[in-house]
Amino acid sequence: MTQNNIKAVLGIDIGGTGIKGAPVNIETGELLGERVRLDTPQPATPEAVGRVVKQLVDQFAWQGAIGITFPAIVANGKTLSAANVDKSWINAPAEEILADAIGLPVKLLNDADAAGLAEVLFGAAKGKPGKIIVITLGTGIGSALIVDGVLISNTEFGHLIFPKDTIAEKYCSGKVKDDLDLKWKDYNPRLNAYLQHLDLLFSPDLVIVGGGISKKADKFIPEMKGLRYTVVAAVLENNAGIVGAAVAAGRAVGLV
């Protein structure tokens, strides 16, 4: 919707533990109101998540374009995986399910892809050439790959087999740090080793770290060693998914 010449879209970021949203000025990336966060229902079935998303939309009394992120591979409106939500989302027509629950059309995309899009347009990747990886450290590890400003969707670098018999997100996600009550001196070597693995596999020019942990970037970024690339915190921190979802929805309805 357009209000006072501001192109506003509601962005919603569905995570494994929280569902948060806010209206966004899609031309500047700024939030137009206080972010609202509701707990992700457990189990996070399509019906239960749909009810919580509707609650959030109702809190804003929103009528207009809505962009929603989801922690899964998203293709043509379907969720093809379900890492940190109920397995009933696998191969589900998720965009349709959420649109029906809300009563409004939505645009659905992968959560880390949304964060990557936001960082390209308004954040740490803006105007940067080359190969850029955005990782989001939260309940799991999401990833976005950007090559010369173009988003390559649905990468799953959090599911790389690392270090040996597990996957990266079960070794160094934000949730792992919390669950194991790891101090920074114990957590940082895990994250550093994972970033070195990304270096070996992809030789990126820049890695941007987002998700809830990015608010504490001063605790870990200076401790990252032995990398051939620069590591920076996401400029939009934990709002990147909301902003990227809003922009994607705005594009879908022709606002930008």
Give the contacts of 110 (CB within 8 A, at least 6 positions apart).
69, 70, 71, 72, 73, 74, 142, 144, 153, 154
Query: What is the residue range of 132's domain?
Result: 124-234
Q: Based on the fold, state whether residues 181 and 96 are members of the same structural domain.
A: no
At 90, list the tokens: 């696998």
Whether 118 maps to a domain, the answer reads no
Q: What is the pLDDT, as a whole number, of residue 87?
A: 95
* pLDDT per residue rounded down to tens, the chain (256 residues): 655 678 999 999 999 899 999 999 999 999 999 999 999 999 999 999 999 999 999 999 999 999 999 999 999 999 999 878 899 999 999 999 999 999 999 999 999 999 999 999 999 999 999 999 999 999 999 999 999 999 999 999 999 999 999 999 999 999 999 999 999 999 999 999 999 999 999 999 999 999 889 999 999 999 999 999 999 999 998 899 999 999 999 999 998 7
Whether 117 maps to a domain, the answer reads no
Whether 119 maps to a domain, the answer reads no
Domain with 39 in it: what CATH number? 3.30.420.40
Give the contacts of 114 (CB within 8 A, at least 6 positions apart).
11, 13, 67, 69, 240, 241, 242, 243, 244, 245, 248
Number of independent structural domains in the chain = 2
Q: Based on the fold, state whether residues 154 and 209 are members of the same structural domain.
A: yes
Q: What is the pLDDT, as a whole number, of residue 5?
A: 77
Q: What is the pLDDT, as a whole number, of residue 1?
A: 63
Q: Based on the fold, state whether residues 73 and 130 are members of the same structural domain.
A: no
Q: Based on the fold, state whether residues 94 and 183 are members of the same structural domain.
A: no
Q: What is the pLDDT, as a whole number, of residue 82?
A: 87
Q: Based on the fold, state whether residues 229 and 244 are members of the same structural domain.
A: no
Q: What is the pLDDT, as a whole number, of residue 212?
A: 86
Q: Based on the fold, state whether residues 100 and 15 are members of the same structural domain.
A: yes
Q: Based on the fold, state whether residues 80 and 173 are members of the same structural domain.
A: no
Q: Based on the fold, state whether residues 89 and 21 are members of the same structural domain.
A: yes
